[in-house]
Amino acid sequence: MQQRGLSALVVILGVIAQGSCGPVQASECPEKIGEQAYAHTEQCDQFFLCTNGTLTLETCENGLLYDGKGAAHNHCNYNWAVDCKGRQWDPTPISTPGCEYQFGIYPVSKECSTTYIKCAYGEPIEQECDAGLAYDDRTHGCNWPDQLLHVCNPEAVVGFKCPTKVDSSSPAARFWPFPRFPVQGDCHRLITCVEGYPRLITCGENKVFDESTLTCEDPDYVSTKCNSIGK
């Protein structure tokens, strides 16, 4: 183990042990059972790992950093999600075709897309957003297309155009200004309009959409074809 890492570990384990069993040796872990990870005091791309009492100094893969919160891979999180709080790291990417860093999440293109690229060990794998969502490069995740109007057409993504008004006697009117509508041939989703743009909503687990109430219900309480589909 490097001397700098060893010195940092003395500080970390000493702080952890205060008020319990007193100071511990640098070669000891505070807990002897299970797996625990501790931040390096100087390096943001390194951390200390205790596995059943065995201590090791670990380095995050290229594109990942340690903050104790994320677990994109081996206790490390994507670099854009980590606040290093003054700890240092080498931002040099190790690039491969389709991947800036060995680990990362990237857009397929600058256009509206319902897929994105997830890189692991430098291998780009295209991932699908959930139905009705599009990739948002600002958050490195999927979002409602009406939150991406600078690149997306929500009507094209969802496949539905929200009406400017609804019949006051229709079930949809109950939810105005966020009217709801069924999805043709889909018993597990509905469409709700927000500021005139459609959003595809998925019912919870073991729930189906009731066209008469425009709500997600237990299949036993739905008197349509979705009753049998949900079971």
pLDDT of residue 185: 84
pLDDT tens sequence for the chain (231 residues): 444 444 445 445 544 433 223 333 446 788 889 999 999 999 999 999 999 999 999 999 999 999 998 789 999 999 999 999 999 999 999 999 999 999 999 999 999 999 999 999 999 999 999 999 999 999 999 999 999 999 999 999 999 999 999 888 888 888 899 999 999 888 899 999 999 999 999 998 888 888 888 888 888 777 666 655 444
The pLDDT tens digits of the residues spanning 83-140 come to 999 999 999 999 999 999 999 999 999 999 999 999 999 999 999 999 999 999 999 9
* 143 close to 158: Cβ distance less than 8 angstroms: no
Structural domains of the chain, with CATH: 3-81 (no CATH), 104-156 (no CATH), 161-229 (2.170.140)
**Sequence-ordered alpha helix ranges (H) in 93-222:** 154-158
How distant, in Å, are the alpha carbons of 116, 203, 219, 224 from that of 210?
Answer: 33, 10, 9, 7
| Overall pTM > 0.75 | yes
